[in-house]
């Protein structure tokens, strides 16, 4: 059995750790509130913009003329992997890494074998993880999560879009955590480029039968709206991941605080038992000494 000094030292250590986890939980909760407000405000705008693109493009038979919709033989692939800059957020990062590797094994094993698969990590954890495992990593925008703003994200999106247009990549996918609530983050694997063909909506409406009048022109609308929609989609992805990170960290720190409580109960019980055993031992020694003196 451990002595009193060791148990007391462990109790103090756990108390200090619990104070840290409580503080981190509060900080994560404050950041989550702001991040959640940003993503809630962005979602309607992003969804409406995508809906406009789908409605307009659905009414045309020559949508494939748009360079961002060009389907090619998949020989060169870019995977944009969104993670956090820091740890202590549960399975937030590991889930994205596992999802990325599963996607590579499922769809792009031949591309990876040919050395034509590259990863654009957004977040220091993703950069460190894939760099250590000798993947082809682009370190240009791994810092974006640190100070998330549309200007920097727009620059990254434009780089990816330009690389697709000039044929550097035949397909671009994004892997990230989608924010559902504080306790739930879902790993999403979405095709960013080329833009997927429009399908029928849930009501079964066929946009292809609708005749649209364009103002000022169809070409202007596509030249302006499609790139803008892609940049907004890219930014929304990072906002989703950012909110998910704070939710995951808040949950992880809450669990850590609860675990510290359970551990403190056990340690204090051990401390009391050890103290009682020490007192009992001292009493027995005193009684034994007294009896020895009496017999002497």
Determine the Cα–Cα distance for residues 66 and 226; give it in Å rounded to an integer: 9
Residues 158 and 164: their CA atoms lie apart, in Å, by 10
Q: What is the predicted pLDDT for the residue at 125? A: 96
Residue 121: per-residue pLDDT? 96
What pLDDT score was predicted for residue 182? 86
Give domain limits for the chain: 21-253
Q: For residues 119 and 143, give the distance between their C-alpha atoms in angstroms, rounded to a whole number.
A: 15
Long-range contacts of 31-39 (CB under 8 A, 24+ apart): 31/246, 32/182, 32/243, 32/246, 32/247, 32/250, 35/239, 35/242, 35/243, 35/246, 36/179, 36/243, 38/239, 38/242, 38/243, 39/179, 39/236, 39/239, 39/240, 39/242, 39/243
Phi-psi region of 167 (alpha: psi -120 to 50; beta: other; left: phi over 0): left
Q: Residue 287: its pLDDT value, please?
A: 84
pLDDT of residue 131: 95
Q: Where are the alpha helices (DSSP H) in the chain?
A: 4-58, 92-107, 109-113, 124-132, 150-165, 218-295
Q: What is the pLDDT, as a whole number, of residue 57?
A: 59
- How many whole angstroms separate alpha carbon 262 and alpha carbon 94? 26
Note the pLDDT of residue 64.
Answer: 53
Q: Give CA–CA dist 239/252, Å, rounded.
A: 20
Choose among 169, 182, 202, 210: nearest CA to 58. 210
Residue 65 is classified by DSSP as: G
- Which residue among the candidates 49, 56, 80, 89 is catalytic per the annotation? 89
Residues in the chain where the model's pLDDT stays below 50: 61, 200-201, 203-204, 207-208
Cα 74 to Cα 116, 211, 255, distances in angstroms: 10, 34, 43
CA angle (64 as vertex; 70, 111 as ends), nearest 5: 20
Element (H, E) at 136: strand 136-137
For residue 203, the tally of other CB atoms under 10 A from its CB is 5
pTM: 0.84
Contact 167, 194 (CB under 8 A): no
pLDDT score of 207: 47
CA distance 115 to 109: 10
Among residues 135, 146, 151, the alpha carbon closest in space to that of 101 is found at 135
Looking at residue 210, its pLDDT comes to 58
Residue 20 annotated in active site? no
Indicate the SS3 state at residue 175: strand
Q: What fold, for 21-253?
A: Pyruvate Kinase; Chain: A, domain 1 (3.40.1380)
Structural element, H or E, at residue 189 = strand 184-193
Would you give the DSSP letter of residue 212? P
Q: What is the strand order of the sheet 117-122 is part of?
A: 136-137, 117-122, 77-82, 171-181, 184-193
17 vs 47: CA distance, rounded Å: 43
Estimate the crossing angle of helix 92-107 against helix 124-132, to 10 degrees. Answer: 50
């Amino acid at each position: 059995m451990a002595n009193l000094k060791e148990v007391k030292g462990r109790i103090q250590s756990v108390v200090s750790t619990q104070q840290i986890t409580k503080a981190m939980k509060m900080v994560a909760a404050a950041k989550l509130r702001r991040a959640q407000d940003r993503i809630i405000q962005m979602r309607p705008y992003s969804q409406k913009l995508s809906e406009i693109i789908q409605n307009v493009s659905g009414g045309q038979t020559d949508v494939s003329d748009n360079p961002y919709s060009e389907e090619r033989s998949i020989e060169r692939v870019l995977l944009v992997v969104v993670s956090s800059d820091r740890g202590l957020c549960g399975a937030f990062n590991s889930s994205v890494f596992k999802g990325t590797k599963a996607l590579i094994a499922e769809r792009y094993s031949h591309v990876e074998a040919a050395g034509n698969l590259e990863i654009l990590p957004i977040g220091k954890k993703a950069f460190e993880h894939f760099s250590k495992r000798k993947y082809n990593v682009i370190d240009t925008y791994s810092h974006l999560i640190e100070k998330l703003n549309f200007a920097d994200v727009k620059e990254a999106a434009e780089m990816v879009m330009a690389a697709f247009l000039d044929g550097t990549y035949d397909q671009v996918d994004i892997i990230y955590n989608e924010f559902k609530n504080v306790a739930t983050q879902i790993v999403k694997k979405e095709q960013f480029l080329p833009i997927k063909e429009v399908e029928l909506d849930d009501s079964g409406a066929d946009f292809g039968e609708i005749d649209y009048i364009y103002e000022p022109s169809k070409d202007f609308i596509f030249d302006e709206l499609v790139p803008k929609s892609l940049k907004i989609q890219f930014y929304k992805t990072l906002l989703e991941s950012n909110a998910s990170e704070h939710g995951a960290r808040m949950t992880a720190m809450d669990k850590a605080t609860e675990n510290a409580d359970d551990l403190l109960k056990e340690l204090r019980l051990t401390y009391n038992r050890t103290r009682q055993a020490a007192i009992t031992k001292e009493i027995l020694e005193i009684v034994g000494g007294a009896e020895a003196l009496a017999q002497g």
